[in-house]
């Protein structure tokens, strides 16, 4: 599992450039992005200064990149925005499919819906729709709990009444980078023990189907890389907390890597 966690949170393999607004670091930009930055980015030797915090100006730049077909992530444009945080306030908003191009920290939420069948843990696993490029994000206007209750109904038909038993149990943070993108991300994680006779049913087109799986099956699928990276990390964290990975080689490093510390502001 540790090998996969290192692959999915590979921040030590890159050296992105800090992005600052005034004196605060708000992101990290990959060097190959620099030639695409307009004049309201001031490129210095060891940092990049963002000279505006105007949401509309930044979105205009992103839409121009999208129109030119420059970056794959923009194909997943959602018309949903993330907040970009300063230490004392929200600085601006950014389209959630584009935050990785500026290395802006993203936030999401994830529920582990499980049952106990004769004391055996089984987890409902959703197969994500092929039409969707992104996972539930914590967009503008929602708290983590509000977002999770909303997504639980839309994606699995889990009612507000059932969600009353939902518990926020963890947060995971990871930092994935590639040639152009820098994705520092934090997921708020909720656990919900569901009734044994409950069967999830999607209310929208975000999830194709659900399977009820035992932990050994889940481990096998993760090791075969059948899970999306973000979902795999959440599931690994669940197995750690439930005691299913306590004899894992490199356990301390694995747990540490599930909670990367970022050096810039976030929500209070």
Domain segments of the chain as ranges = 2-10+106-257, 17-101
The mean per-residue pLDDT over the stretch 160-179 comes to: 94
Q: Which residues pair with 121 in a beta bridge?
A: 116
pLDDT band at 132 (very low <50, low <70, confident <90, very high): very low
> Residue 131 has what pLDDT?
36
pLDDT in tens, 11-35: 877 889 999 999 999 999 999 999 9
Percent of the chain with pLDDT over 70: 93
Q: Looking at domain 17-101, which of 3.30.200.20, 3.30.750.160, 2.60.120.10, 3.40.50.261 is its CATH number?
A: 3.30.750.160
Neighbouring residues of 175: CB distance < 8 A, sequence distance ≥ 6? 9, 10, 11, 182, 183, 184, 185, 260, 262
> Mean of the pLDDT values across residues 156-168?
93
Per-residue pLDDT of 190-244, as tens digits, reads 999 999 999 998 876 666 788 899 999 999 999 999 988 889 999 999 999 999 9
Looking at every residue in the chain, the average pLDDT score rounds to 89
Residues listed for the chain: 268
pLDDT level of residue 138 (50, 70, 90 thresholds): low
Is it the case that residue 151 has pLDDT exceeding 60? yes
SS3 label, residue 190: strand
The Cα-based distances of 228 to 48, 184, 192, 253 in angstroms read: 31, 16, 21, 21
User: pLDDT at position 139, please?
Assistant: 62
Write out the H or E segment, with its range, that includes residue 215.
helix 215-223
- Record: fold of 2-10+106-257: Nucleoside Triphosphate Pyrophosphohydrolase (3.90.79)
For residue 65, what pLDDT is reported? 97
Distance between alpha carbon 244 and the CA centroid of its chain, in Å? Answer: 23
Confidence of residue 80 (pLDDT cuts 50, 70, 90): confident
């Amino acid at each position: 599992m540790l090998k996969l966690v290192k692959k999915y949170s590979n921040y030590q393999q890159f050296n992105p450039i800090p992005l600052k607004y005034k004196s605060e670091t708000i992101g990290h930009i990959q060097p190959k992005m620099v030639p695409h930055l307009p004049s309201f980015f001031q490129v210095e030797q060891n940092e990049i200064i963002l000279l505006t915090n105007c949401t509309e100006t930044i979105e205009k730049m992103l839409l121009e990149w999208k129109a030119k077909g420059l970056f794959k992530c923009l194909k997943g444009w959602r018309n949903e925005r993330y907040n970009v945080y300063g230490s004392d306030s929200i600085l601006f908003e950014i389209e959630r499919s584009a935050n990785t191009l500026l290395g802006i920290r993203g936030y999401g939420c994830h529920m582990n819906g499980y049952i106990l069948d004769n004391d055996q843990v089984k987890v409902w696993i959703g197969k994500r729709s092929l039409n969707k490029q992104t996972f539930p994000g914590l967009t503008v206007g929602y708290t983590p709990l509000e977002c999770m209750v909303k997504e639980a109904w839309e994606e699995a038909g889990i009612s507000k009444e059932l969600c009353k038993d939902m518990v926020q149990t963890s947060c995971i943070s990871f930092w994935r980078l590639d040639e152009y993108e820098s994705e520092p991300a934090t997921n708020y994680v909720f656990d919900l023990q569901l009734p044994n006779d409950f069967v999830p049913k999607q209310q929208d087109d975000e999830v194709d189907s659900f399977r009820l799986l035992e932990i050994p099956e889940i481990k096998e699928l993760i090791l075969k890389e059948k899970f999306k990276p973000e979902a795999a990390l959440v599931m690994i964290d669940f197995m750690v907390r439930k005691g299913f990975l306590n004899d894992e080689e490199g356990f301390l490093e694995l747990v540490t890597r599930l909670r990367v510390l970022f050096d810039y502001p976030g929500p209070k």
